[in-house]
Amino acid sequence: MTSQIVYQGSLRTEALHLQSGTRIETDAPTDNQGKGERFSPTDLVATALGSCMMTIMGIKARDLQLDLTGTRLEIQKHMASDPRRISGVDVVIHFPPGLVVDEKQKTILKNAALTCPVAKSLEPAIVQAVSFHWPA
Protein backbone atom coordinates (compact mmCIF):
# COMPACT_ATOMS: atom_id res chain seq x y z
CA MET A 1 0.00 0.00 0.00
CA THR A 2 1.30 3.48 -0.90
CA SER A 3 -0.73 5.76 1.32
CA GLN A 4 -3.65 6.06 3.67
CA ILE A 5 -6.07 8.98 3.54
CA VAL A 6 -8.34 10.06 6.38
CA TYR A 7 -11.17 12.56 5.98
CA GLN A 8 -10.75 15.28 8.63
CA GLY A 9 -14.11 16.98 8.07
CA SER A 10 -14.76 20.44 6.61
CA LEU A 11 -13.61 19.20 3.17
CA ARG A 12 -10.06 18.48 4.41
CA THR A 13 -8.12 15.23 4.09
CA GLU A 14 -4.84 14.05 5.52
CA ALA A 15 -2.74 11.62 3.51
CA LEU A 16 0.00 9.54 5.10
CA HIS A 17 2.82 8.20 2.92
CA LEU A 18 3.36 4.82 4.54
CA GLN A 19 7.03 4.33 3.61
CA SER A 20 8.28 7.68 4.90
CA GLY A 21 5.64 8.84 7.36
CA THR A 22 5.28 12.13 5.46
CA ARG A 23 1.85 13.76 5.68
CA ILE A 24 0.00 15.98 3.23
CA GLU A 25 -3.25 17.80 3.96
CA THR A 26 -5.66 18.88 1.23
CA ASP A 27 -8.59 21.28 1.20
CA ALA A 28 -11.31 21.81 -1.33
CA PRO A 29 -10.56 25.05 -3.18
CA THR A 30 -12.52 28.22 -2.45
CA ASP A 31 -14.25 27.99 -5.83
CA ASN A 32 -15.61 24.58 -4.84
CA GLN A 33 -16.96 25.19 -1.33
CA GLY A 34 -13.63 24.78 0.44
CA LYS A 35 -11.31 26.87 2.56
CA GLY A 36 -8.39 26.78 0.13
CA GLU A 37 -5.94 26.68 3.05
CA ARG A 38 -4.02 23.70 1.64
CA PHE A 39 -3.28 22.23 -1.78
CA SER A 40 -6.46 20.94 -3.40
CA PRO A 41 -6.42 17.41 -4.82
CA THR A 42 -6.26 18.84 -8.35
CA ASP A 43 -3.41 21.15 -7.27
CA LEU A 44 -1.54 18.00 -6.23
CA VAL A 45 -2.09 16.45 -9.67
CA ALA A 46 -0.60 19.52 -11.36
CA THR A 47 2.20 19.70 -8.80
CA ALA A 48 2.91 15.97 -9.24
CA LEU A 49 3.37 16.61 -12.96
CA GLY A 50 6.02 19.27 -12.27
CA SER A 51 7.74 17.20 -9.59
CA CYS A 52 7.83 14.19 -11.88
CA MET A 53 9.26 16.22 -14.74
CA MET A 54 11.96 17.61 -12.48
CA THR A 55 12.79 14.20 -11.02
CA ILE A 56 13.20 12.52 -14.41
CA MET A 57 15.23 15.46 -15.73
CA GLY A 58 17.37 15.16 -12.57
CA ILE A 59 18.05 11.50 -13.34
CA LYS A 60 19.05 12.32 -16.92
CA ALA A 61 21.12 15.32 -15.77
CA ARG A 62 23.02 13.11 -13.34
CA ASP A 63 23.76 10.69 -16.21
CA LEU A 64 24.99 13.68 -18.25
CA GLN A 65 27.02 15.00 -15.30
CA LEU A 66 24.94 18.18 -15.18
CA ASP A 67 23.81 19.87 -11.96
CA LEU A 68 20.22 21.13 -12.15
CA THR A 69 20.22 22.41 -8.55
CA GLY A 70 18.20 25.60 -8.46
CA THR A 71 16.02 24.76 -11.45
CA ARG A 72 12.56 26.20 -10.81
CA LEU A 73 9.23 25.02 -12.21
CA GLU A 74 6.10 27.17 -12.21
CA ILE A 75 2.78 25.36 -12.49
CA GLN A 76 -0.56 26.84 -13.53
CA LYS A 77 -3.55 24.53 -13.46
CA HIS A 78 -6.64 25.25 -15.57
CA MET A 79 -10.04 23.91 -14.60
CA ALA A 80 -13.10 23.23 -16.74
CA SER A 81 -16.66 22.59 -15.65
CA ASP A 82 -19.48 20.22 -16.53
CA PRO A 83 -17.90 17.97 -15.46
CA ARG A 84 -15.43 19.74 -13.17
CA ARG A 85 -11.96 18.58 -14.19
CA ILE A 86 -8.42 19.68 -14.98
CA SER A 87 -8.40 20.88 -18.58
CA GLY A 88 -4.78 21.96 -18.79
CA VAL A 89 -1.52 22.52 -16.98
CA ASP A 90 1.07 25.12 -17.93
CA VAL A 91 4.61 24.25 -16.85
CA VAL A 92 7.37 26.84 -17.11
CA ILE A 93 10.84 25.51 -16.39
CA HIS A 94 13.61 27.99 -15.53
CA PHE A 95 17.10 26.56 -15.51
CA PRO A 96 19.67 28.18 -13.21
CA PRO A 97 22.15 30.80 -14.34
CA GLY A 98 25.52 29.30 -15.09
CA LEU A 99 24.15 25.99 -16.37
CA VAL A 100 25.99 25.11 -19.56
CA VAL A 101 24.11 22.71 -21.83
CA ASP A 102 24.52 21.91 -25.48
CA GLU A 103 21.66 21.25 -27.91
CA LYS A 104 21.86 17.46 -27.51
CA GLN A 105 21.66 17.76 -23.71
CA LYS A 106 18.72 20.17 -24.02
CA THR A 107 16.90 17.65 -26.22
CA ILE A 108 17.54 14.85 -23.71
CA LEU A 109 16.29 16.96 -20.80
CA LYS A 110 13.20 18.14 -22.71
CA ASN A 111 12.33 14.58 -23.71
CA ALA A 112 12.79 13.42 -20.11
CA ALA A 113 10.34 16.05 -18.86
CA LEU A 114 7.74 15.46 -21.54
CA THR A 115 7.76 11.68 -21.12
CA CYS A 116 7.81 11.45 -17.33
CA PRO A 117 5.40 8.88 -15.84
CA VAL A 118 2.87 11.46 -14.63
CA ALA A 119 2.81 13.21 -18.02
CA LYS A 120 2.16 9.86 -19.67
CA SER A 121 -0.51 8.94 -17.10
CA LEU A 122 -2.69 12.02 -17.53
CA GLU A 123 -5.66 11.86 -19.87
CA PRO A 124 -4.67 13.10 -23.34
CA ALA A 125 -7.46 15.71 -23.17
CA ILE A 126 -5.47 17.52 -20.46
CA VAL A 127 -3.35 20.03 -22.35
CA GLN A 128 0.23 20.05 -21.08
CA ALA A 129 1.89 23.27 -22.22
CA VAL A 130 5.55 23.12 -21.27
CA SER A 131 8.14 25.83 -21.88
CA PHE A 132 11.85 25.63 -21.19
CA HIS A 133 13.89 28.71 -20.30
CA TRP A 134 17.61 28.08 -20.61
CA PRO A 135 20.29 30.42 -19.24
CA ALA A 136 21.74 32.83 -21.77
Clarify whether residues 22 and 79 are in a common domain: no
Query: What is each CA distance from 16 to 20, 22, 27, 35, 79, in whole angstroms?
Result: 8, 6, 15, 21, 26
For the segment 96-124, what is each residue's pLDDT rounded down to a tens digit? 999 999 999 999 999 999 999 999 999 99
Clarify whether residues 28 and 47 are in a common domain: no
List the domain range (segments joined by +) for residue 10: 3-32
Instruction: Label residues 14-41 b or e (16+ Cβ within 10 Å = b).
Output: ebeeeeeeeeeebbbbeeeebeeebbbe
Clarify whether residues 28 and 68 are in a common domain: no
Clarify whether residues 70 and 129 are in a common domain: yes
Clarify whether residues 96 and 121 are in a common domain: yes
Clarify whether residues 27 and 60 are in a common domain: no
Could you tell me if 27 and 36 are in contact, meaning their C-beta atoms sit under 8 angstroms apart?
yes
Clarify whether residues 25 and 72 are in a common domain: no
Q: Which residues pair with 100 in a beta bridge?
A: none
User: For the chain, what is the domain count?
Assistant: 2
For the segment 46-103, what is each residue's pLDDT rounded down to a tens digit? 999 999 999 999 999 999 999 999 999 999 999 999 999 999 999 999 999 999 999 9
Q: What is the pTM of this model?
A: 0.95
Clarify whether residues 74 and 118 are in a common domain: yes
Clarify whether residues 87 and 51 are in a common domain: yes
Could you tell me if 105 and 62 are in contact, meaning their C-beta atoms sit under 8 angstroms apart?
no
